Every structure is written in structure tokens, then in C-alpha cells.
Amino acid sequence: MLKNEPKNTAAVNKISKTIDFTFVFEYYLNILKQQRDVIFLKKSVMDLYKKAVFDPSKERKDMTLQLLCDEIEQGKMVLPIYQTYIRWTLPKMVDLFNYQLLGKSPVAPISINFIDDPEQVIEQIGFLDRKILNKESLLGKHSVVDGQQRLSTNYKAHVDHEDVEDIVLDLRKGKFTSLRNKETVKEYQIPVGKLYNKDQTKYLEYVNSKEYLKEDNTKDLLNTIRKKHQQYYYVVNFATNLSKVEQMEWFEVLNLAGSRVTGDMVYLTDLLVKGIDFYTDYVNPFVKELESKELEHLMPKKSAEVSIPLATLNAAYFKVTGGDKKGNFSPIPSDTKAKAIGSRSVEEIKEMISITLKALNDTLEFMSEKDRLEKIERVDILTYLIGLTVDKEIDYNNLSSKQTHYLIEFIDTADFVNNSNTARREKYSNLLENYPLNE
């Protein structure tokens, strides 16, 4: 054997030279990959099977408005922090009361996340006081993912809240309506906060104090309406221990389709956790600056109080973060960067707000000095100049004659009527690019 060993070794070496070991390695690697893929496939199939046999639509419960209002009063209902700024207008509340009274189909379901593990869920606020709650207090609470406005509206009637004091049931019209300009309640009307009050005594005291309302036929009708309201059923869909991402996804599917303003406010509520109130610290001062120059008409819609100031932060966002202007960055509602802004540090966000509010003040003062305030018919002129002021770090006390002329010409000639978003963005880019340098 020993004599043949060198010969065999040589043979092995010869054979090894003819074998492509790379091919062998890849062959066995492929086998292992196939085995791994089979394992992953089995796991994904099992996960899919588990999800297929679980039907979340069966996790539901019918609850009366009376019971839902009781749970709110007991502090059992809480809200995810991103719902802080979402409020219904008076007409929307009137519509809900009318639908519950006159509608031929039930109101859409309420969606609730049952909190069994407080560490998993997003920050929560109290349903009534809107204050951030400690994690320890969340165990067993019901976090309202969808339906907080319907619940809030009904609860306000339940306690005769001042927000619904102008909503009355008009018996002549046969529906709920709202009073205008603080007009007095007519004899054939009853405030919703009296009709649906949780206290039977307060309801009866009001009815019995009015000649028209305490007539037997009228009183019987009101009793029937009140009873229907208290026993009105809402379907409540439950989920348990949704994470922050999962709860946000559920909310977005139910609420955010086609609603950019709502979506922006959802992301901006992250600021509350950081100690910044978007309305108090920024929107309100922004609007007050406009009011001080009698320019509040530039934002006739309530939604504009969110979208316009938010979009105007764009220039400061890039200035503070030092990022390149990629994508859409003009100061128009379609280009708002709520998610990006909300993700920055407290110091950065405060700096953005400070820079923008100063630019707003400086721009308005410049317009006032040049007698151009009355010429402003669209808010775009103002927001574009704010963006320019921040981007170019304009000092209005040291403008050259060429720069002054450039600004005035823009104010006098800018036309934003029926402009597409593409056209608006192009105008903003041109405004920045063509701003003259110091002489």
C-alpha cells in the first residue's frame, strides 16, 4: 500500500485538476437554498393559514349609545395621540344627529383597539381632556381607532356640552338644525343637550317649562325620540394590542383616503409627544399675523389653517436640515412635509417655526411699507415670498434697488388663478433662481 501511495496521490491530484470545485460548491449551495426556501415556504404558508382561519370581523359587539357614553364618562375610552387635532364642525354634528334620527340605515361601525399590553400601543390621550396618559393607566382601556367624532358628538349631547348648545331639534322642520347668530330657541325647538341629556330630570324640567313642548302629543313624540337615541346601537369592531404601526395602518385605511389635511395632522401629532403643539406654537401665531394686517380672508377655509402654514415651513425645513431640495418643495398644500418635519428633533422643529414666523413678519412689513397689502388676493403671493425670504436669507433693511423692484414686480404681476401644481412649482423655482444678487 505504501508503495502505491505516491502513485494514488498523483492520480488524485490529476483528478482534482479536472473537477470544477466552484461548480460543486454552487451545486450543494443550491440544494441548501432549496431546502431553506422550502422551510420559508412552509412557514409563510402556515402564517397565511393562521391568518386565514382568524376572522377579525367576528370580533365585534353591539353597544348602545347610552353604554358608549357611560364608558366615556368612566374613563374607559381613550384616543391614540394622532387624533388630537381632529374636530368636527357644527354642520357635521347636525348631520350625525339627523342621520341617527332619520336615517334608513345604521351608522358605520366604531373601531376599537383593546389594550391588554400597554407597552405595545402608541401614546394615548384622555377622551375628554386630551392629555397624554401614562402607560400604566392604559391596561384594559378601549382605544378608539375610528369613530371618535361620532362618539364625541353624542357624548356632548349626553352632558349638554357648550359645543352643541346651538343645535336644536326643530319640530316644524322635522329635523335637527343649528341656530344662527345666537338667535333664541323657538317654542317648537328643543336643544339637543336637553333632549339627549343623561339626566332624565333635566330633560323633563326643560320640556315641562315650555307650553308647546309639554303638550301630550308633543311630549310623547320627544320621549320616543329620546328613547330611540339612548337605545341606538352601534356595531363596535375590536382588535387587541395593535402596535403603533398596525393601529396607524388601520386608521389610515378607514380615514385618510383622499384627505391630505387629516393625514398631515396624524403625523404632526407626534410633535405633542416631543412637547410641541403645532396649533399653539405655530398655526395660531401665523393666523394672528395675518389678522393683524386684516388678511384673514386669504384663508377662508378651516382646512387652510393647517395646510398653508404647514406648506410654508418647507423652506425652513431645508434651511435647518441642510438637505437638498429633492422632489416637490414649493409652499403649496400638495407639497407639505408633515412626516419629515415631525420626525426631526425638538430643537430643529422650533428653529423651523421661528425662522418661518420671522419671515412672515418681515414680509408683511415690507408689503405694508410698499403699500402692497391691499393688492394681495391670494395667499400664494405671501407664502412664495416667505419661502424666498428664508431660502435667500433676505434682510429687508438692506435691499438693493434691483432686489426691491424684483419683489414688488412679483407682488404686482404674479398670477395663480387656475394654475396646475406643476405650474405653481415652476413659478416658485423661477422665483428663487432669478432673485438678483447684491449689487
Give the tens place of pLDDT for each residue, 23-68. Answer: 666 766 677 666 666 666 666 766 666 666 656 666 788 999 999 9
Query: Which of helix, strand or coil describes residue 9?
Result: helix
Closest by CA position to 336, among listed 283, 374, 289:
283
Among the listed ranges 192-206, 291-305, 380-394, 409-423, which one has the minimum average pLDDT value?
291-305
Cell numbers that stand for 426 in this block: 415652476
Specify the pLDDT at position 1.
Answer: 44
For residues 176 and 192, the answer to whether their CB atoms sit within 8 Å is: yes
Is the pLDDT at 438 greater than 80, yes or no?
Answer: no
**Where do we find the cell 338644525?**
177
Give the tens place of pLDDT for each residue, 97-114. Answer: 999 999 999 998 999 999
Specify the pLDDT at position 342.
Answer: 85
Instruction: Indicate the length of the chain as a whole number.
Output: 439
What angle is formed at CA 256 by the lines to CA 386 and CA 318, rounded to 5 degrees? Answer: 25
Is the pLDDT at 93 greater than 70, yes or no?
Answer: yes
Mean pLDDT of 356-381: 92
Among the listed ranges 13-17, 186-190, 406-410, which one has the minimum average pLDDT value?
13-17
Distance CA 310, CA 347 (A): 17
Give the tens place of pLDDT for each residue, 374-386. Answer: 878 889 999 999 9
Greater pLDDT, 218 or 85: 218
Closest by CA position to 276, among listed 220, 340, 348, 206:
348
DSSP 163-193: GGTTEEEETTTTEEEE-STTPPPPTTEEEHH
Chain Cα centroid distance, residue 197 = 31
Rg for the chain (alpha carbons), in Å? Answer: 32
CB-neighbour burial class of residue 139 (10 A; exposed 0-12, middle 13-18, buried 19+): exposed
Binned at pLDDT 50, 70 and 90, residue 227 comes out as very high
The amino acid present at 116, given as its one-letter code, is D
Among the listed ranges 219-223, 232-236, 294-298, which one has the minimum average pLDDT value?
294-298
Residues paired with 235 in a beta bridge: 62
* Cα-based distances in Å from 159 to 154, 202, 334: 9, 10, 39
Sheet of strand 175-178: strand arrangement? 175-178, 167-170, 189-191
Specify the pLDDT at position 300.
Answer: 66
**Which residues neighbour 296 within 8 Å (Cβ) at sequence distance 6 or greater?**
287, 290
The pTM score is: 0.63
Distance CA 97, CA 192 (A): 9
Mean pLDDT of 214-221: 96
DSSP 8-state class, residue 110 = E
Q: Tell me what the pLDDT averaged over the chain comes to.
A: 85
CB-neighbour burial class of residue 7 (10 A; exposed 0-12, middle 13-18, buried 19+): exposed
